[in-house]
Structure 1
Amino acid sequence: MSNSFLMSIGFYALIPNLSVYLTHSLSWSPLLAGVLLMVRQFSQQGPMMLTGMISDRVGYRATLTLGFLLRGIGFAMFALGTSPLLMFVSAIIAGIGGSLFEPTGDAALTTLTDATWRSRTYAVKKVIDNLGIVVSALIGSLLVNVSFHLLSVLSGALFAAAGIITYFRLPAINVQVKPVAWTHMWKTVTRDKPFVHFVAVMIGYFFMFMQLYLAIPARIVEITHEASSVSIVFLVLSGMMIVLQVPINVLVAKFNVIRSVQTGFLLMGTGLLVLGSAAHVTVFVCGIALFAIGLMTIEPASFDVTSRLANPEMTATYFGFYYLAMAIGGGISQGTGGLLMQVGSSIGLPGLIWWIGAFVALLSMAGAGPLRKSLPGKGAAE
Structure 2
Amino acid sequence: MLRAFGELTVPSRLLVVNQFGVNLGFYLVLPFLATYMGDLGYAAATIGLVLALRNLSQQGLFLIGGSAADRIGCRPVIILGCAVRIVAFGLFVVVDSLPGLIAAAVLTGLAGAFFNPAVRAYLMHEAGDRRAEVFSVFNVFGNAGALLGPLLGAALLAVDFRLVAAVAAAVFTLLTVAQLFALPARPVEPQERGLIGSWGEVVGNRRFLLFALGGAGYFSLFNQLYLAFPVEAQRVTGVAGAVSAVFVVSTVVGIAAQVRITAWCRAHWSEGRSMAVGLVLMGAGFVPIGIAAPFVATAPPGQWTADGLLAVTPVLLGTVVFAVGQAMTNPFSLSLLPTVGSTRLAGTYYGWFYLVSAIVVAVTTPAVGALFDRFGDGPGRWLPFAVLLGIGLAGGAVIAWMQRTGRLAPRPVTAP
Shorter-chain TM range is over 0.9
Counterpart in the other structure of 2:308 = none
Task: Kindly indicate whether residue 55 of structure 2 is the aligned counterpart of residue 22 of structure 1.
Answer: no
Q: Percent identity?
A: 28
Residues in 2 aligned to 1:59 and 1:107: alpha-carbon distance in whole angstroms? 10
Task: Kindly indicate whether residue 87 of structure 2 is the aligned counterpart of residue 54 of structure 1.
Answer: no
CA contact (8 A) 2:45 2:366 kept: yes
C-alpha displacement of 1:296? 0.8
Task: Kindly indicate whether residue 338 of structure 2 is the aligned counterpart of residue 324 of structure 1.
Answer: no
C-alpha displacement of 1:183? 2.3
Counterpart in the other structure of 1:375 = 408
Task: Kindly indicate whether residue 324 of structure 2 is the aligned counterpart of residue 293 of structure 1.
Answer: yes
Task: Kindly indicate whether residue 37 of structure 2 is the aligned counterpart of residue 11 of structure 1.
Answer: no
Residues in 1 aligned to 2:89 and 2:141: alpha-carbon distance in whole angstroms? 22
Task: Kindly indicate whether residue 117 of structure 2 is the aligned counterpart of residue 103 of structure 1.
Answer: yes
Task: Kindly indicate whether residue 252 of structure 2 is the aligned counterpart of residue 239 of structure 1.
Answer: yes
Question: Which of 122, 128, 146 is the matching residue for 1:133?
Answer: 146
**Residues 211 and 235 of structure 1, relative CA distance in 2, 3 Å threshold:** same
Counterpart in the other structure of 1:32 = 46
Counterpart in the other structure of 1:312 = 343
**Residues 72 and 277 of structure 1, relative CA distance in 2, 3 Å threshold:** farther
Alignment of 1:323-342 (within 5 A): 323-342=354-373
C-alpha displacement of 1:27? 1.1
Question: Which of 164, 183, 189 is the matching residue for 1:176?
Answer: 189
Residues in 2 aligned to 1:190 and 1:97: alpha-carbon distance in whole angstroms? 25
- SS of residue paired to 1:312: coil
Counterpart in the other structure of 1:153 = 166
Look up the equivalent residue of 1:374 and give its one-letter code: R
- SS of residue paired to 2:114: helix
Question: Which of 340, 344, 352 is the matching residue for 2:383?
Answer: 352
Alignment of 1:248-267 (within 5 A): 248-254=261-267, 255-267=269-281
Residues in 2 aligned to 1:311 and 1:283: alpha-carbon distance in whole angstroms? 42
Task: Kindly indicate whether residue 104 of structure 2 is the aligned counterpart of residue 93 of structure 1.
Answer: no
Counterpart in the other structure of 2:414 = none
Residues in 2 aligned to 1:180 and 1:168: alpha-carbon distance in whole angstroms? 32
- SS of residue paired to 1:353: helix
Residues in 2 aligned to 1:338 and 1:112: alpha-carbon distance in whole angstroms? 40
C-alpha displacement of 1:78? 0.7
C-alpha displacement of 1:49? 1.4
Task: Kindly indicate whether residue 229 of structure 2 is the aligned counterpart of residue 196 of structure 1.
Answer: no
Look up the equivalent residue of 2:245 and give its one-letter code: I
Question: Which of 114, 122, 126 is the matching residue for 1:112?
Answer: 126
TM-score after normalising by structure 1: 0.94
CA contact (8 A) 1:16 1:230 kept: yes
**Residues 347 and 222 of structure 1, relative CA distance in 2, 3 Å threshold:** closer
Look up the equivalent residue of 1:2 and give its one-letter code: V
Residues in 2 aligned to 1:332 and 1:315: alpha-carbon distance in whole angstroms? 27
Counterpart in the other structure of 1:363 = 394
CA contact (8 A) 1:206 1:325 kept: no
CA contact (8 A) 2:75 2:186 kept: yes
Task: Kindly indicate whether residue 218 of structure 2 is the aligned counterpart of residue 205 of structure 1.
Answer: yes
CA contact (8 A) 1:224 1:281 kept: yes
Runs of at least 5 residues in structure 1 that lack an aligned partner in the other structure: none
- SS of residue paired to 1:253: helix
Residues in 1 aligned to 2:142 and 2:250: alpha-carbon distance in whole angstroms? 11
CA contact (8 A) 1:56 1:175 kept: yes
C-alpha displacement of 1:210? 0.9
Count of matched residue positions in the alignment of Structure 1 and Structure 2: 376
C-alpha displacement of 1:199? 0.3
Residues in 1 aligned to 2:18 and 2:192: alpha-carbon distance in whole angstroms? 28
1:107-149 residue CA offsets vs partner (Å, 9 max, x unmatched): 0111222x23221111011111111122112201101222100
TM-score after normalising by structure 2: 0.86
Counterpart in the other structure of 1:303 = 334
- SS of residue paired to 2:96: coil
C-alpha displacement of 1:194? 1.6
Residues in 2 aligned to 1:230 and 1:265: alpha-carbon distance in whole angstroms? 23
1:287-307 residue CA offsets vs partner (Å, 9 max, x unmatched): 111111111111111011013
C-alpha displacement of 1:363? 1.8
Look up the equivalent residue of 1:7 and give its one-letter code: V
C-alpha displacement of 1:374? 1.1
CA contact (8 A) 2:81 2:111 kept: yes
C-alpha displacement of 1:179? 6.3
- SS of residue paired to 1:313: coil
CA contact (8 A) 2:212 2:357 kept: no
Question: Which of 269, 272, 284 is the matching residue for 1:270?
Answer: 284
Counterpart in the other structure of 2:200 = 187
Residues in 2 aligned to 1:356 and 1:238: alpha-carbon distance in whole angstroms? 24
Residues in 2 aligned to 1:13 and 1:276: alpha-carbon distance in whole angstroms? 28
